[in-house]
């Protein structure tokens, strides 16, 4: 697993890094109990250990579950697909899905930058999404 300080030449924006066009989410791991958290935290929510190790998650995972949100709060452009993605680093992360069609449970995905689904002042902003592995 690459530690973030070993990847310091990569462009880093908020809670992820981009390496060779691959998006790796920036997470925290508890050195005591091993719990992994995304987004990052300063302490472990399971046992209050602090500080935590910074890690970059793999650039892909598998779909644990998904839905198509067809009704939402006003700041979202519906419909949009959401998925919980399981990473081999033992953490589950909610991500918007970069496709109009929903995936199936267990599908292999990669993490990419894509626009939406939240509408901000300038329109849809590019954030990490899950996409079926190509």
Residues near other proteins, by CB under 8 A: 33, 35-37, 39, 45-46, 64-74, 76, 80, 82, 84, 86, 90-92, 94-96, 102, 105, 117-118, 127
Give me the half-sphere count of Cα atoms (radius 13 Å) on the Cβ side of residue 86: 10
The smaller minimum CB distance to other proteins, of residues 5 and 104, is found at 104
Measured CA to CA, the distance from residue 25 to residue 93 in angstroms comes to 9
Strand partners, 53: 29
Measured CA to CA, the distance from residue 119 to residue 121 in angstroms comes to 7
In the complex, minimum distance from the CB of residue 9 to other proteins, in angstroms, rounded to a whole number? 26
In the complex, minimum distance from the CB of residue 92 to other proteins, in angstroms, rounded to a whole number? 6
Q: Which DSSP helix (H) or strand (E) runs through 125?
A: strand 123-132
In the complex, minimum distance from the CB of residue 8 to other proteins, in angstroms, rounded to a whole number? 24
The smaller minimum CB distance to other proteins, of residues 6 and 88, is found at 88
């Amino acid at each position: 697993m690459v530690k973030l300080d070993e990847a310091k030449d990569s462009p880093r924006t908020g809670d992820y890094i981009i390496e060779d066009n691959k998006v790796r989410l920036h997470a925290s791991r508890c050195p005591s109990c091993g719990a992994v958290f995304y987004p990052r935290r300063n302490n472990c929510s399971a046992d209050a250990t602090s500080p935590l190790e910074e890690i970059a998650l793999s650039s892909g995972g598998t779909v644990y579950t998904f839905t198509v949100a067809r009704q939402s709060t006003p700041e979202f452009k519906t419909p949009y697909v959401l998925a919980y993605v399981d990473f081999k680093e033992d953490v589950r992360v909610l991500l918007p899905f970069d496709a109009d069609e929903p995936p199936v449970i267990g599908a292999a995905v990669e993490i990419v930058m894509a626009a939406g689904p939240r509408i901000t002042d300038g329109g849809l902003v590019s954030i990490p999404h899950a996409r079926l592995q190509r």
